[in-house]
Amino acid sequence: MSDPYSDLGSQNKKVQAQIADALDSRCLDPSQVAIRAAYLSGLQLPADALAVEFGSGTGHVTKDLLTMAGAARAVGIEPSPILAQRAIERFSDDDRLSFEIGDAKRTGLPTGSVDLVLMHTLLCHVPGPEDVLKEAFRVLKPGGVLAICDGDYDTATAQIADFDPLDQLVRFMINQNVTNLWIMRQIGGMLTECGFNMGARQGHGYVADGDAAYFMTVIARGAERMVETGLLLSETAEALKAEAVARLKENRFFGFMSYVSQIATKPV
């Protein structure tokens, strides 16, 4: 199956709504908030900075551009009308924030007009990520900042012992929902090729904690997708989901993934 995030606007409404719920859950997770703060809060921006998030989903991370990065205005660009509408409804009370339906490869923004471009878990879903980087390079002002953060997806796991069947659900979910698992291991070469100067690179470990809400959506979506593809009986999928819930209740659940952030600048 092709990665549904790569063309979310053409997925059925149920899939878009399920993804919107999963994004909301992930964005609000305190450990995920901490990852975003770790790479966004140290950026040096001018006082009246305009920031743009490419692939803004349900809008939480676009808001971080104001609260964490210190931008004066922030715009989110998102191809899925359902996700963009959710962002508009949730954040319409803040007139420093706006959201547009659009494609990160062709934003329509004026050349050299933006101080900060953010791509948070976007590039792993885009076939031809080089075209998105070229568009960021075009719209950034000289000296403008590009911030990229994505999962290092080969590290995603729920495994607590050899041959743990729950881990297969995580791996299947990643396999079915990510276009390029290796994007953050390849990004340095792509940025250099595009003409960017490299800035800080950081690794961020994410351990599911508390109700493990985001990891539970990964487990559930992996199990449901295995049923859709005919790999599992629905009874087996329900049993595996119940195993995850039981582990959580008994403090035996473990979920982990690394994220990597990379800052780059457009030469002056």
- Does residue 266 contact residue 140 with C-beta atoms inside 8 Å? yes
* Least distance between ligand SAM and beta carbon 240 (Å): 24
Handedness of CA 229, 232, 237, 238 (dihedral sign): positive
Distance CA 78, CA 120 (A): 12
Q: Which of 49, 55, 53 is nearest to 63 (CA)?
A: 53
- Kindly tell me which of 104 and 156 has the beta carbon lying closer to ligand SAM: 104
* Least distance between ligand SAM and beta carbon 122 (Å): 5
3-class secondary-structure state, position 176? helix
Distance CA 142, CA 140 (A): 6
Q: Which of 147, 151, 157 is nearest to 124 (CA)?
A: 151
* Contact pattern from residue 25 through residue 64 relative to ligand SAM, giving x for each residue in contact according to CB under 6 A and a dash for the rest: --x--------------------------xxxx--xx---
Residue 73 binding ligand SAM, by CB under 6 A: no
DSSP secondary structure code for residue 102 in this structure:
-
Residue 104 binding ligand SAM, by CB under 6 A: yes
Judged by CB under 6 A, the residue of 52, 66, 74, 79 near ligand SAM is: 79
Judged by CB under 6 A, the residue of 73, 105, 138, 171 near ligand SAM is: 105
Q: How many residues bind ligand SAM (CB under 6 A)?
A: 24
Binding residues for ligand SAM (CB under 6 A): 5-6, 8, 23, 27, 54-57, 60-61, 77-80, 83, 103-105, 120-122, 125-126
